[in-house]
Structures are given as structure tokens and as C-alpha cells.
């Protein structure tokens, strides 16, 4: 993998994907008064006749999307991640239980959102949506991967939840390597034989930086972009179990119920394996600059490095 480049925010990739998908007349876009923030406004500007703006009515948006899906449309419904949680019952009973392929995008997820404060920082969304039967859960790491994975949802067949971020992150992919991505399959960004760092979302770039620094200490770290939290790629984890001495997970989400929990649940079925989690501990966020908050909450390469050292020193 080549050195990362400066890219856009993953929400920008979502907006670009909707434009790519607009050639299919089945695609419709639903908004809850935040199209400019989620970037669904790009689709609306080109195709207002296939865009439904429902105002601040997230529950209604989900059920309208369900009705459209039941009528042969492919709906993409987006708002802030924290506001999708208002509509949990509608997602569960109106979308997933009848098996309708509605694609939900929750923007501004996690502590990385920054100054909006704890009331707007969804650190539990991945956990919530993981619990719904049949719902695919995706959290891309950059704008290009968000675009590619969103485009793949067109013929996915199941309902999905994708979390995107507001702020720009380094690109982990380019126009060629991004084509290798596949929903449900983790992406090996870097080879390594001592530690496997399994990361998602905005923490993937931190994982890559951590791996570079660990190499200077003589620790070989592989980095896996686990962009799909559900279904989880057990094959890439099995390979890490065989070839590495432990796994460190990294996510901008609560350590309860997110990527770390998903990996731990799988490893437990295989008899266990050394695992450490980097994520938000059992607390709410705060208001502040994104980088400042990430340091304050322990969501940086330094924490990943510390957990990797702990595994190496204990096995």
C-alpha cells in the first residue's frame, strides 16, 4: 500500500456515490433536514424529483423509505448518526423485520465530530445496529472507500447502516486499490507478523501511523481496515490468529458493543486469543476540537502502540 494522501471526509464519498448511483432510476434519496451536512444535497441538486425532504422527522423518514423499498425503489436515507437512533424502532420493525433493503447513512458519528459535544457524538450507533438481525453495518475510513462501498449497496439486497465522518482523514486507498473493496471482507492494508491492528473508520489512519512507529521498535504490525462490522470477516481474523501474537482493535466508538466487541465475540468461539481494545471507555464525550478530543479520549496511535506493546510483553 502506498503512502496515504490527504483526502476528503467519508461523508463526501457518500455524496459522490449517490451521484454515481443516480443513473439507476430506482434510486431515491431521503433527507431529514441535514442534506448539506450528509452531502445528499448533491443528489438533490441534480435530481429533485427523486429526493424527499421530510424535515426533522427521522421516524417518518425511515418508514417512508420502507414504503419505497416495498415498491421497488432503492432508498438511501441519511441524517446525523445520533438522530438515526431516534428511529430505532422503525428501523427494526419497519425496515429490517420485513426484510426491506433500505440503506441508512449516519453522518457525524463518534468523538471525531468534535465541537458539537456529547449530545451529538454517537458512540453507540454501531453497537445498536449490530443487534438488528440481517442489517449490514459499515464504517468506511476515507472518502474513496465510502464512495465505493456505498455504490456496492445498490444490489446488496439487505438493509444497511453506514457511518460517515464530518472531518477530513488521510486516504488509505487510491482510485485503483479502492476497487478491491468488498462489503463483508476486511482489507489488509499492511503486512505484519507480530501484531494485527484491526481498525475501522477514522482510526484506520491512526493504526497505519502506529504500525510505522512500531516497526521502529522492531515490532511488525499488520493493519486491517475492518470497514464492515457486520457481517464480520472471520477469515481475515483467522489468518491473524495463525500468524500474529495478538490483536489490537481501534475504533471511534464505545468499547462496548462495537468493533472490539465483535472481534472478541468471534475469538471467544475459537478458544480465545490475546486482544486489547482502543476505543471510548464507558463515558460520554465532550465539546472541543476533533484532534484535542481524540487525544483526551485516548483515541490515537499512542494508545494503539501501548496496547500492542502490552501484548508483546505478555505473551
Q: Hey, which residues are catalytic here? A: 58
DSSP secondary-structure letter at 3?
A: P
Q: How far apart are CA 225 and CA 200, in angstroms?
A: 6
Whether residue 41 has a cis bond before it, omega within 30° of 0: no
d(CA 218, CA 237): 23
Which DSSP letter does residue 156 get?
T
Q: Output the nine-digit C-alpha cell for 129.
A: 445496529
Q: Which three cell numbers stand for residue 215?
A: 516497526
CA angle 227, 228, 231 (to 5 degrees): 160
Helix (H, G, I), strand (E, B) or coil at 30: strand
Contact 57, 83 (CB under 8 A): no
Q: What's the CA gap between 69 and 282, in Å, rounded?
A: 37
Cβ neighbours of residue 71 closer than 8 Å, sequence gap 6 or more: none
Task: Find, among 96, 100, 94, 64, the residue nearest to 79 by Cα.
Answer: 64
Amino acid at each position: 500500500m502506498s503512502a496515504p494522501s490527504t483526502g476528503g471526509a467519508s461523508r463526501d464519498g457518500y455524496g459522490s456515490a449517490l451521484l454515481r448511483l443516480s443513473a439507476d432510476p430506482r434510486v431515491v434519496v431521503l433527507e431529514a433536514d441535514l442534506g448539506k451536512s450528509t452531502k445528499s444535497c448533491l443528489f438533490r441538486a441534480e435530481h429533485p424529483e427523486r429526493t424527499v425532504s421530510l424535515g426533522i422527522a427521522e421516524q417518518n423518514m425511515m418508514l417512508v423509505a420502507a414504503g419505497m423499498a416495498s415498491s421497488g425503489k432503492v432508498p438511501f436515507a441519511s441524517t446525523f448518526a445520533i438522530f438515526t437512533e431516534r428511529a430505532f424502532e422503525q428501523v427494526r420493525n419497519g425496515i429490517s423485520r420485513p426484510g426491506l433493503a433500505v440503506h441508512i447513512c449516519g453522518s457525524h458519528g463518534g468523538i471525531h465530530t468534535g465541537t458539537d459535544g456529547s449530545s451529538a457524538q454517537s458512540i453507540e450507533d454501531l453497537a445498536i445496529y449490530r443487534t438488528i438481525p440481517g442489517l449490514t453495518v459499515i464504517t468506511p475510513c476515507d472518502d474513496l472507500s465510502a464512495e465505493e462501498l456505498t455504490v456496492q449497496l445498490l444490489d446488496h439486497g439487505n438493509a444497511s447502516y453506514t457511518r460517515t465522518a464530518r472531518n477530513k482523514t488521510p486516504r488509505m486507498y487510491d482510485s485503483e486499490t479502492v476497487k478491491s473493496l468488498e462489503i463483508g471482507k476486511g482489507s489488509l492494508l499492511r503486512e505484519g507478523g507480530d501484531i494485527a491492528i484491526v481498525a475501522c473508520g477514522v482510526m484506520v489512519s491512526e493504526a497505519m501511523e502506529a504500525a510505522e512507529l512500531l516497526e521502529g521498535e522492531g515490532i511488525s504490525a499488520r493493519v486491517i481496515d475492518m470497514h464492515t462490522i457486520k457481517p464480520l470477516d472471520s477469515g481475515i481474523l483467522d489468518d491473524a490468529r495463525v500468524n500474529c501474537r495478538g490483536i489490537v482493535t481501534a475504533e471511534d466508538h464505545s468499547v462496548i458493543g462495537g468493533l472490539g466487541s465483535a472481534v472478541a465475540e468471534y475469538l471467544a468461539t475459537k478458544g480465545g486469543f490475546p486482544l486489547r481494545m482502543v476505543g471510548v471507555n464507558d463515558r460520554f464525550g465532550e465539546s472541543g476540537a476533533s484532534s484535542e478530543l481524540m487525544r483526551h479520549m485516548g483515541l490515537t496511535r499512542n494508545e494503539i502502540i501501548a496496547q500492542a506493546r502490552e501484548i508483546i510483553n505478555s505473551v
